[in-house]
Amino acid sequence: MALLSFTVLIIILIILIIFRLKTWFIQYIKLLKTYGSIPCPRNRLPLFGNLFNLPLDPYQFSQKLDLLYEESKTTTLYCLWLGTYPLIAFFHPVGLEHFLSGSRHITKSSDYAYLYPWLRTGLLTSNGAKWKNRRRIITPAFHDKELLNNYVDIYNEQSTILVQRLSSIESGKEVNLYSYIASCALDIICEAAMGLNIGAQQKKNSQYVDAVLKLTDIILKRQRMPWLWPDLLFKLLPEGRDHDRNLNIIHQFTKKVIDDRAQAFRADENRGKRYAFLDLLLKQMNDEQLTLLDIQEEVDTFMFEGHDTTAAAINFTCFMIASHPEVQKKLHEEIDRVFGNDRDRPCTMEDLNELEYLECVIKETLRLYPSVPFIAREIQEDFMYHGYKLLKGSTAVIFIYYVHRDPKHFPDPDRFDPDRFLPENSHNRSPFAFVPFSAGSRNCIGQRFAMLEEKSMLSWILRRFKLKTSQTFNDLNLSFEIILRSEHGAFVQLECRV
């Protein structure tokens, strides 16, 4: 009887596997018929697609994308096949209105799944009604006057520590500033998000700081290595165990901060303390029926989105300023006009609004080196695009790095020219030609926060230092990961201004 039951179970299992394979095969044939005519890299193999043509190394992968971009210039769409999984690649601004305007195709693709264990379904990863509700709740945090002024105070305090650390670097020595800038950005985002000074620049709370950095690296590594994709296998490997250990450190830390802040909030003990993003959520907790876990999702999301992206933008901007003495001269003139000879006066919101040329420099840097080089959306319904049918459930990848290099909107696109963003030069530009913070309803909710932070930190650096570099663009070895990175770092010299 037991043998008969086991045999029946095996037969049922085989039938289910055959049925699943049949369903998969029918879907694969449908995708081939629909997308087979879209240009794709040569040497595509059945079942494996372009997997063997796409290097795992992020720098080599970026070089390969450069070649694919050149091929794509004669077509409106391009298709990359990861095995039997097609990615519809958008390298140009044309057609982006389907994904960056309206509310039809705003769902993030399944490629963001590796962020779920950390961020769960916060604003970055959620969809549908939950995303709309959270967006409505969180938007005031980036428009509230009191909060914005608190943020500026935080920028000043942490930037003061940053320039003190930079002053200790040996004069004339070329250094990669990224670690200095990143620890400053981490201090800023922690205090802005949680109301807690974690002292990353002073090597405090090192366990939490290290866990944030390590977990980010593990997620990046997992995204580009297919054998780490299956959850079951990933958890058995050393990378999976490291992932869970660091994730636990981060979640326990933020949970404790939120619990403590919530208790103080209920007891009205936050009076006199600096107002933080977390306090806004706690204030709305009852009205919006938010749980402490809901609040943790958004705090963790704010931490993730607002740390590495800003650090990368500031680091590349320092490199571009160092590479273009004529731009640096204009910046120093603007800085001196706003601050005079005072190297230590805190920035005000009025000061930051006056630094118009600095904002043009940051935007031009973000055009050439967008912190997030690509984003992905899941197509929500079938539609026709330039004669091609795009299917519901497919993934559209928007390569922001290449969209920003469209010569129609940016003549001589590889040239660094901040004047492109002067009002008279940019008012007629397509809203989808420059999208470092995405665009439309799903744009980056913290872009004003980020721009003010970048202007503040850079104004402190430029008041104190003149930047130089012996590197060129070709020395950067750009790597396309979640964040755009330089494989070997962007090195600059710091020379004290007299």
Q: Which helix (H) or strand (E) holds 72?
A: helix 58-72
Number of domains observed in the structure of the chain: 1
Q: Flag whether 30 is in a domain.
A: no
Distance CA 479, CA 483 (A): 8
Please identify which residue in the block is written with the tokens 């869970």: 244
The one-letter code for the residue type at 481 is E
pLDDT of residue 16: 66
| Binding-site residues | 444
Kindly state the tokens that stand for 356: 């118009």
For 114, 145, 168, 368, the CA distances from 129, given in Å and listed in that order, are: 22, 28, 51, 35
Alpha helices in 127-237 (DSSP H): 128-138, 145-167, 178-194, 206-223, 231-236
Q: Which residues pair with 88 in a beta bridge?
A: 79, 396
**85-90 and 395-398 beta bridge pairing:** parallel
Please identify which residue in the block is written with the tokens 């990669």: 176
Sign of the CA dihedral 143, 148, 149, 152?
negative
Q: Flag whether 475 is in a domain.
A: yes
Distance CA 402, CA 423 (A): 23
| Binding-site residues for heme | 444
Q: Are 313 and 371 in contact (CB under 8 A)?
A: yes
Q: Are 41 and 53 in contact (CB under 8 A)?
A: yes
Distance CA 241, CA 237 (A): 7
Within 13 A of 381's CA, how many CA atoms are on the CB side?
4
Q: Are 142 and 449 in contact (CB under 8 A)?
A: yes
| 3-state helix, strand and coil shares in percent for the chain, rounded to the nearest 5 | 60, 10, 30
Q: In terms of residue numbers, what domain contains 82?
A: 36-496
Q: Are 84 and 65 in contact (CB under 8 A)?
A: no
Distance CA 332, CA 336 (A): 6
Q: Are 394 and 92 in contact (CB under 8 A)?
A: no
Distance CA 321, CA 333 (A): 14
Burial of 207: CB neighbours in 10 Å, binned 0-12, 13-18, 19+? exposed
Q: Which helix (H) or strand (E) holds 190?
A: helix 178-194
Please identify which residue in the block is written with the tokens 């720098």: 59
Q: Are 34 and 385 in contact (CB under 8 A)?
A: no
pLDDT of residue 305: 85
Q: Flag whether 142 is in a domain.
A: yes
Kindly state the tokens that stand for 228: 């780490």
Kindly state the tokens that stand for 442: 């799903």
Kindly state the tokens that stand for 350: 């009025």
Q: Flag whether 17 is in a domain.
A: no
Kindly state the tokens that stand for 122: 């916060």
Contacts of 154 (CB under 8 A, 6+ apart): 188, 191, 192, 274
pLDDT of residue 404: 97
Q: Flag whether 3 is in a domain.
A: no
Encode burial over 296-326: b for 16+ CB neighbours within 10 A, e otherwise: bbbbbbbbbbbbbbbbbbbbbbbbbbbbbee
- Each of the 498 residues of the chain gets a pLDDT tens digit; together they read 555 566 766 777 777 677 666 676 777 788 888 888 888 887 788 878 888 888 878 888 889 899 989 988 888 889 998 888 889 999 999 888 888 877 777 788 777 888 999 999 988 888 888 988 999 988 888 887 888 888 999 999 999 999 999 999 988 899 999 999 999 999 999 999 988 888 989 887 778 878 887 888 888 788 777 788 889 899 999 999 999 999 999 999 999 989 988 888 777 656 556 788 898 898 888 888 889 999 999 999 988 888 889 999 999 999 999 999 999 999 999 999 999 988 999 999 999 999 999 999 999 999 999 999 999 888 888 888 888 888 988 889 999 999 999 999 999 999 999 999 999 998 889 999 999 999 888 889 999 999 999 999 999 999 999 999 999 998 999 988 888 999 889 999 999 987
pLDDT of residue 270: 61
Q: Flag whether 82 is in a domain.
A: yes
Q: Flag whether 45 is in a domain.
A: yes
Domain CATH for 130: 1.10.630.10
In the sheet with 465-468, reading across from the earlier edge strand, the strands are 175-176, 491-496, 465-468
Contacts of 332 (CB under 8 A, 6+ apart): 462, 466, 497
Q: Are 73 and 79 in contact (CB under 8 A)?
A: no
